[in-house]
Amino acid sequence: MGPSGSGKSTLMNIIGCLDQPTKGTITIEGTETSRMSRSDLAYVRNKKIGFVFQSFNLLARANALSNVMLPFVYGDYPKAKRKERAMEVLDSVGLSDRWNHKPNELSGGQKQRVAIARALVNNPAIILADEPTGNIDSRSGLEIMILLQRLNREGMTILCVTHDLFIAEHAEMIINLLDGRISKIEEVKERKNALEELQKLPKEEEISN
């Protein structure tokens, strides 16, 4: 967590092998990323890391299923099982009935869930989420948090960037950044449960009234 310009996204891009650090090192499974070739970095991004972006970054021309299958195109996942695996992941984010919809036919929350499915499809070691709820309404945002908390409970490591304390309190630990440095690391004492938070929100009918 941290204010704009504190280096949250940059740190995340460096961890995700999208960017290279000018100083310091990142070690993934014993290898420093600065010693890896462009090809090795691409391999790590494909196999070890699942990205979830604020602006979804889905391919506009492809449907949900094809978007989820995109990492397979650049990996060696067995061909015969690709579709089955992609549908399974889509099902786990609750969108198996929308597999044939293009991004512009989906709501913000649904798009982000497709993006999460895409991040999960190759069984990564970590999910890096950069302001995953930044571009969507609070109700859909909580649904995303429910999903991320469930994945976390199931054993997935999730690194989530946010400037919103409410979102941050859904995590086990908050690392505060300021001007490119870690200013504080704290454990969350009263961790929020996204499912309960969602129930606290006024019902949709009440809003329309």
Partner 1 sequence: MNLWESTEVSIDALKANKLRSFLTMLGVVIGVIAVVLLVSIALGVRSQVTGTIEGLGSNLYMVFPGSIGRGMGGGRLTINKLKIDHAYELMQKSGYNVAISPVVNKFSTIRYGKTSKGATLITGVMANFSLARNWKVNEGAFLKKEDIDAYRKACVIGQSVKHTLFKNSNPVGREIFIAGKSFKVLGVMESKGQLFDLDLDDQVFIPLPTAQRIFGINNLSYIFIHTPRVEDMPLAMEQTKKILLHSLSDDDFTVKSQGETLSAFLQISSLLTIMLGAIAAISLVVGGIGIMNIMTVSVTERTKEIGIRKAMGAQDGEIITQFLTEAVIISLMGGIVGILICYLAVFLLSAFYPTFTVTISLLAITVAILFSTFMGTFFGVYPAYKAGRLDPIEALRYE
Residues at the interface with partner 1 (CB under 8 A): 13, 16, 18-19, 38-39, 42-47, 51, 53, 57-59, 61-62, 70-71, 73-75, 118
What is the C-alpha separation between 127 and 201, in angstroms, rounded? Answer: 27
C-beta closer to partner 1: residue 58 or 90: 58
CB of 20 to partner 1, least distance (A): 9
Beta strands in 56-145 (DSSP E): 126-130
b vs e for 194-203, b when ≥16 Cβ sit within 10 Å of the residue's Cβ? beebeeeeee
Q: How far, in Å, CA of 149 to CA of 49, rounded?
A: 18
Task: Please tell me the distance from the alpha carbon of residue 17 to that of residue 11, in angstroms, as a whole number.
Answer: 10
CB of 45: closest distance to partner 1 in angstroms? 4
Structure tokens at 35: 């010693």
Give residue for tokens 């070691």.
125
Closer residue to partner 1 in complex, CB, 43/166: 43
Least Å distance between CB 57 and partner 1?
5
Please identify, using beta-carbon distances, which residue of 26 and 198 lies nearer to partner 1: 26
Decide whether 34 or 138 has the Cβ nearer to partner 1. Answer: 34
Pull the structure tokens for residue 142. Answer: 């909580």
Q: How far is the CB of 189 from partner 1 (least distance, A)?
A: 35
Rg (CA), the chain: 18
Report the DSSP pairing between strands 49-52 and 31-32.
Answer: unpaired
Cβ distance to partner 1 smaller for residue 57 or 176: 57
| CB of residue 13 to partner 1, shortest distance in Å | 5
